[in-house]
Structures are given as C-alpha cells and as structure tokens.
C-alpha cells in the first residue's frame, strides 16, 4: 500500500516530507514482528501509527489494544498488563487475565511507556526478550506472542540519565524508531488540517463552514502550536461554534490563540521600573555601534602601520583595540543576561540593527568619546561606579580599570 492510500485509509492530512518518512517506515516495518518505538511531542498523532503497523501486518486479524501507561495507577499496572491470581492482593476476589495474555497473537500499543514504574519495566523487558511473564501472585510462567509498539512524548535519553527509565529496555523497544514531527515543522499542512476540521465540525453542528482570510492563514502558520494537532482541532471547533461571521480574520483568530507562541522577529523589552536615562535597547545599539567603530578603526590602523609603522607600533595599537573589543563583548554578555529577546526557533542569526551606511565619522577620537561617556555617566549617578557601569553596559571592574587608565576625576 502506497503512502497516499495509507493517508486516505487512516485520515492523515498533510504532505510534509517528515510525515511521509514516518508513514513510510511504519509501512515497511509492518510485515515484520520487530518492536517499534514512536517518539514525538504530545498531540502530534502518534496513536495512528500503531494502527497502520497492525493493519498492514500478518496480525491484522488478531486483537489490537492501546494502553495508556500513564493513566493506570502504579499499584495496579502490573495486574492490568500481566493479570493476577485470586487472593494475590486485597480486592483480588478472582483471577484475571492481563493485556499480554488477552492480546496473544495480536498487537499491543503501550502509549506513554516512560511512565511505567521501574518494577514493571523489568517485567516488560522479560516479555520482549523471551515472550514470557508471570501473573501477579503466581509462579507459573505464561508464554505469549504479542507484537509491541511503544510511544512517548518525553526526552527518553534524559529519563534514562535521571534513572527513571531502564537503558536496556529502551534499546529493546527502540529496534525500529519512528519520529512524528510537530505541527510547527509542517507549516504547509496547517491550513489543510484547519479546513478539514472546519468541514467536519460544520457537518457535525449543521452550520456553514468557517474560512480564514489571507492574514488569518498567515497567522495560523506563524503560531508555534505547542499542543500540535490536538490544539488545532480544539481551536477550530471553538471558532466553528462561537463565531457568527463564517469568514474569520486575523484579529478574530488571535483571540483564540494563547499569546507567547508566535514566530516573530527578535524584540527587545524594557523592564518595568527602569528609570535610567538610556533604555536597554539604546545601550545594546550603543555597544554594537562602538564595536563597529572599533573594527573600522582596526582596519585603518592595520592598513597604516603595515605601510609605515614598526612592529612595536603595531603591537601597541593592536593591544589597545583588542582591549576595547573585549570590553564591548563583555558589555554585550552582561546585557544579554538582562534583556529578554523573543527569537524564532528557526532563526540562525540576529540581524544587526545598525547598517554600515549609518556609521559616521565624529570629531572626537574613540578614546576621547569613551572618556566623555564615562564622565557623564559618573556625574549622573553622583560617582557611584556600579550604577554608572550598569548604564554603560560594562562591568564595575572594567569601569574601575578605565577610570585608572584614563585618570578620570570622580
């Protein structure tokens, strides 16, 4: 069965390369009895892949059961999975078969498998390795022939590192891994899914189908969808029921999207209660401007001393300029810790707000300009070096060194 046929049969919407790859792996591994481990964020639709695997396997006429391991209390999970004997614990009034016995010859899907207690993980490992298990309260070994598909939405490597998940069980489950991509990595599929959900809800509630204008469609693609497909479906249903106007614009759509999850350009925020003369944005621009000036000056110095200078002069100028660049970088590092920057997940760099055409030569030298800025900052803060250094975007230690170096009166 090809990928398109699988999508139609299991109502999968989208043409993302990552999604197609996941479906292709599921289809290829289905005829085997290999254990499959599905990973992906919550709400991406991991539960459809075990069904694909089961329906295309030789076990398709056998039983299939999905177990949410996180929804079963720790005290009863062993009984649910492996069964128990009568009187094995309080309340065990009769013997009971577990899922692994009931699903013999079929497929069991263990969703949220990382939520299993460590003791249960040991039992599961034995089933995977030998096909054997024992009921709770019994010493009799039972054989079973079950194909296991497991899934989790947590960082399994971190769970292993923290001792919450057995490494040997992970390797046994992870025979064939399948990664289901989040919705934000399937931007071209988002509007297609919205239209499908809108059509379904229009039919369900017997009302006209909602549609999005161009701005709303762009907004839909910019949103990060932390709840993935599940969140998109819920929001589509809300809009379908609540909004009377069936053409939804961006402002209307925005009311249904929780804030703080948009892929926007970097934005700098000034903290509340900051009454300094310079805003944090201005300080950042100033440091970037000074860095550009220093680099420009370095180019001129290297050019001039190469032609007519001595080795000693080159070293002198190089040392001074490196010190200035180090100070600028130190200021940037400190400011980065104090300024909130909203940055899209796929941004590879910060686009510098200062363009080369904006740099102009000034009558003051860099050193005179630096001395003048330090003096003004100290004066504004009545000689308090800590406050002045904070305004200038450098450390108090660097400010103290510059005061000594330039012999600045306080």
Which of 132, 160, 181 represents a domain boundary (last residue)? 181
Residue 191: strand pairing partners: none
Q: Is residue 113 part of a domain?
A: yes
Whether the CB-CB separation of 107 and 55 falls below 8 Å is answered with: no
Whether the CB-CB separation of 123 and 163 falls below 8 Å is answered with: no
Q: Is residue 225 part of a domain?
A: yes
Residue 400 pLDDT exceeds 60: yes
Alpha helices in 164-205 (DSSP H): 167-173, 187-205
Average pLDDT, the chain: 81
Listed range (104-118, 201-215, 363-377, 378-392) with the worst mean pLDDT: 363-377
Q: What is the pLDDT of residue 405?
A: 80
Instruction: State whether 208 and 325 are in the same domain.
Output: no
Whether the CB-CB separation of 354 and 288 falls below 8 Å is answered with: yes
Task: Look at the chain and report how many structural domains it folds into.
Answer: 3
What value does the mean pLDDT take over residues 372-384?
Answer: 84
Q: What is the pLDDT of residue 167?
A: 96
Whether the CB-CB separation of 255 and 220 falls below 8 Å is answered with: no
Instruction: State whether 208 and 311 are in the same domain.
Output: no
| Residue where the block lists tokens 């001595």 | 310
The enclosing domain of 250 has a CATH number of 1.10.8.60
Instruction: State whether 37 and 171 are in the same domain.
Output: yes
Q: C-alpha angle with apex 402: 396 to 405, nearest 5 degrees?
A: 145
Instruction: State whether 169 and 243 are in the same domain.
Output: no
Residue 177 pLDDT exceeds 70: yes
Instruction: State whether 75 and 127 are in the same domain.
Output: yes
Q: What is the DSSP string of 369-383?
A: HHHHHHHHHHHHTTT
What is the DSSP secondary structure assignment for residue 340, as one 8-state letter? Answer: -
What value does the mean pLDDT take over residues 106-130?
Answer: 96
Q: What is the pLDDT of residue 349?
A: 41
Q: What is the pLDDT of residue 11?
A: 92
Burial class (CB in 10 A: 0-12, 13-18, 19+), 279: middle
pLDDT per residue as tens digits for the range 295-315 = 656 666 555 555 555 555 555
Q: What is the pLDDT of residue 383?
A: 84
pLDDT per residue as tens digits for the range 184-227 = 999 999 999 999 999 999 999 999 999 999 999 999 999 999 99
194: left (phi over 0), alpha (psi -120 to 50) or beta: alpha
Beta-strand pair 132-134/141-143: antiparallel
Q: Which pair of tokens denotes residue 74?
A: 């720790």
Alpha-carbon gap, residue 56 to 75, rounded angstroms? 35
Residue 350 pLDDT exceeds 60: no
The pLDDT-based confidence of 402 (bands split at 50, 70, 90) is confident
Q: Is residue 263 part of a domain?
A: no
Q: Is residue 75 part of a domain?
A: yes
Alpha-carbon gap, residue 38 to 26, rounded angstroms? 10
Where b means 16+ CB within 10 Å and e means fewer, 15-26 reads eeeebbebbebb
3-state DSSP percent of the chain in helix, strand and coil, to 5: 50, 10, 35
150: left (phi over 0), alpha (psi -120 to 50) or beta: beta
Q: How far apart are the first and last CA of the chain?
A: 81
Neighbours of 133 (CB within 10 A): 22
Which of 181, 197, 232 represents a domain boundary (last residue)? 181
In percent, the amount of the chain with pLDDT more than 70 equals: 74
Residue 140 pLDDT exceeds 50: yes
| Residue where the block lists tokens 């923290």 | 162
Alpha-carbon gap, residue 112 to 39, rounded angstroms? 10
Q: Is residue 107 part of a domain?
A: yes
What is the DSSP secondary structure assignment for residue 61, as one 8-state letter? Answer: T
Q: Helices (H) and strands (E) in the chain — how many of each?
A: 17, 11
Q: What is the pLDDT of residue 394?
A: 80
Whether the CB-CB separation of 177 and 37 falls below 8 Å is answered with: yes
Where b means 16+ CB within 10 Å and e means fewer, 223-247 reads bbbebbbebbbebbbebbeeeeeee
What value does the mean pLDDT take over residues 256-275?
Answer: 53
Alpha-carbon gap, residue 389 to 278, rounded angstroms? 12
Instruction: State whether 206 and 329 are in the same domain.
Output: no
What is the DSSP secondary structure assignment for residue 69, as one 8-state letter? Answer: G
Q: What is the pLDDT of residue 401?
A: 78
Q: What is the pLDDT of residue 222?
A: 92
The pLDDT-based confidence of 373 (bands split at 50, 70, 90) is confident
CA distances from 277 to 58, 336, 375 (A): 74, 19, 15
Which of 163, 181, 199 represents a domain boundary (last residue)? 181
pLDDT per residue as tens digits for the range 16-67 = 999 999 999 999 999 999 999 999 999 999 999 999 999 999 999 999 999 9
Q: What is the pLDDT of residue 360?
A: 39
pLDDT per residue as tens digits for the range 225-260 = 999 999 999 999 999 999 999 999 999 999 999 875
Domain that holds residue 85: 3-181
Instruction: State whether 399 and 316 are in the same domain.
Output: yes
């Amino acid at each position: 069965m090809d990928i398109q046929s699988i999508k139609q049969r299991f109502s999968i919407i989208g043409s993302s390369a990552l999604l197609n790859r996941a479906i292709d792996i599921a289809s290829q591994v289905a005829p085997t009895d290999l254990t499959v481990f599905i990973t992906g964020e919550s709400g991406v639709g991991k539960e459809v892949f075990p069904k694909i695997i089961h329906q295309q396997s030789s076990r398709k006429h056998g039983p299939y059961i999905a177990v949410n391991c996180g929804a079963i209390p720790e005290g009863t999970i062993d009984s649910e999975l492996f069964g128990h004997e009568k009187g094995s614990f309080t309340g065990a009034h009769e013997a009971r078969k577990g899922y692994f016995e009931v699903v013999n010859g079929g497929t069991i899907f263990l969703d949220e498998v990382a939520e299993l207690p460590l003791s249960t993980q040991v039992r599961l490992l034995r089933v995977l390795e030998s096909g054997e298990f024992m009921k709770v309260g019994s010493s009799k070994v039972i054989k079973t022939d079950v194909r296991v598909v497991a899934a989790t939405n947590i960082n399994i490597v971190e769970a292993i590192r923290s001792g919450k998940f057995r490494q040997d069980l992970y390797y046994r489950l992870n025979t064939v891994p399948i990664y289901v991509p989040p919705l934000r990595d399937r931007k071209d599929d988002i509007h297609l899914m919205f239209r499908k959900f809108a059509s379904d809800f229009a039919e369900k509630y017997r009302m006209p189908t909602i549609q999005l204008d161009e701005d709303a469609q762009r907004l839909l693609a910019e949103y990060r969808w932390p709840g993935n497909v599940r969140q998109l479906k819920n929001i589509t249903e809300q809009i379908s029921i609540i909004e009377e106007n069936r053409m939804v614009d961006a402002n209307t759509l925005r009311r249904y999207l929780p804030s703080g999850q948009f892929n926007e350009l970097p934005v700098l925020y000034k903290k509340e209660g900051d009454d300094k003369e310079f805003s944090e944005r201005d300080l950042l621009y100033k440091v970037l401007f000074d860095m550009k000036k220093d680099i420009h000056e370095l180019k001129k110095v290297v050019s001039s001393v190469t032609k007519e200078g001595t080795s000693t002069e080159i070293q002198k100028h190089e040392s001074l300029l490196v010190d200035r660049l180090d100070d600028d970088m130190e200021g940037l590092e400190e400011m980065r810790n104090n300024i909130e920057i909203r940055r899209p997940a796929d941004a590879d760099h910060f686009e510098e707000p200062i363009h080369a055409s904006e740099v102009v030569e000034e009558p003051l030298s860099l050193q005179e300009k630096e001395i003048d800025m330090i003096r003004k900052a100290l004066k504004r803060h009545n000689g308090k070096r800590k406050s002045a250094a904070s305004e200038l975007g450098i450390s108090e230690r660097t400010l103290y060194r510059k005061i000594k170096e330039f012999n600045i009166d306080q």
